[in-house]
Amino acid sequence: MKKCKHLCFLLFGTYFFFSPSTGAELKRQPEVRYGSIQEYRNRQNLLKGTASTSVSSYNSVNKSDLGLQRPVETKDKGFGYHFGFESKLLYSNNPASAPDSNSLIDAAGIWDNALSNSFLLGAYDFGGASFSPIIGLGISNSTYFGDDDLSVLDSNNFNVSFTGIFQFPNGWSARSGLSSSFDFNTAMSQTYRQTSPTIGVSKGFNIASVSAFIDLSISYHFTDTHSILPSEAEKMDRFESALIFGFDIPIHNFEVSPYLRFCLANYSNQDRDEFTTNAGVDFSYHFYDWLALKLMLSYSNRNASGAGGVAADFSRFDLGGAISLNAQF
């Protein structure tokens, strides 16, 4: 664990050392965000051990992604901490998630670095259910290369969240929470803000040695695009419902993790509805329980309708690799 702590500090310093510092004006599509799957796994990493379980898995990596299966007794666990770091290099055929009608779409590379911190504030017995409050803090940085025109997309993000999770027998859990996300351009001027109250329900289960989950969430996003026109500042306000399926298939030190996400969005301040699909698979090799090398493939597709969604349909394919660290303290 001491080695893990030293590596955490090294990666933390590396992140800020390589963050871009140019002052280009940011232009991006803030509604295209797919953090839900990793957020789910980070929560489950932190929650393992907060209650007695009946899980049998090939190793602790699999257990951590699966989460609680049968909370029959809350364990005496107070403060907990989960640290996550991922650095990935991606090739994308549509890095700006630009509409398909845009004839200027160019492929490019993306370098993403993300740090996540989750703090468990105890586990409490509620008569057959375990309740755990969690505070989350995260920062991320995206740099685009291979096309000079895309440098305007280089950005930094900070997010903070509070989530309360009830865990029930047989792998069920329910949660409610509030999160805020802030985007900054490379001159550290804020370009976008989003605050999102969310409720959700999840189910985790085993199929032989394979762990799986399904997650349904409903959220509303209050946004500020920092537009010069006051009428445009809240144009991204929207109601979203999302459904996620995921599997983790262990093969010795390898792990195959396919996932599928569906999201339906309705915008409050414009005539626009969207249905977005995100499908992908991660191939991971675990050097240790806390350190993995990944090959990542994903495909995203959005279909929009209404006057505000005209010509907003897009498709995107990403392929790349990542190094991922997840540690418990």
Domain count, the chain: 1
Looking at residue 229, its pLDDT comes to 73
Contacts of residue 67, Cβ cutoff 8 Å, sequence gap at least 6 = 43, 44, 47, 48, 167, 171, 173, 202, 204, 213
Average confidence (pLDDT) over 162-182: 92
How many contiguous H segments (helices) and E segments (strands) does the chain have?
3, 13
CATH of the domain at 317: 2.40.160.40
**Better-scored residue on pLDDT, 106 or 58:** 106
Asked if the model's pLDDT at residue 60 lies above 70, the reply is no
Give CA separation, 262 vs 42, 220, 244, in Å: 20, 16, 7
**Cα–Cα distance, 213 to 309 (Å, whole number):** 32
Summarised one tens digit per residue, pLDDT across range 195-207 is 999 999 999 888 8
CA neighbor of 240 nearest in space, from 268, 262, 220: 220
CA neighbor of 67 nearest in space, from 82, 79, 78, 85: 82
* Structural domain boundaries, residue 75: 2-328
Summarised one tens digit per residue, pLDDT across range 295-320 is 999 999 999 888 776 667 889 999 99
- Kind and range of the H or E element at 41? helix 36-47
Position 274 confidence tier, pLDDT thresholds 50, 70, 90 = very high
φ and ψ of 202, to 5 deg: -135, 155
Residue 310: CB atoms within 10 Å: 13
Mean pLDDT over the full length of the chain: 80
Please say whether the dihedral angle defined by the alpha carbons of residues 303, 32, 217 and 267, taken in this order, is positive or negative: negative
Looking at residue 206, its pLDDT comes to 87
Asked if the model's pLDDT at residue 33 lies above 90, the reply is no
**Cα–Cα distance, 173 to 191 (Å, whole number):** 35
Position 51 confidence tier, pLDDT thresholds 50, 70, 90 = low
- Kind and range of the H or E element at 52? none
**Cα–Cα distance, 259 to 257 (Å, whole number):** 7
Summarised one tens digit per residue, pLDDT across range 116-148 is 999 999 888 888 888 999 999 999 999 999 888
**Cα–Cα distance, 136 to 47 (Å, whole number):** 13
Instruction: State pTM to two decimals.
Output: 0.80
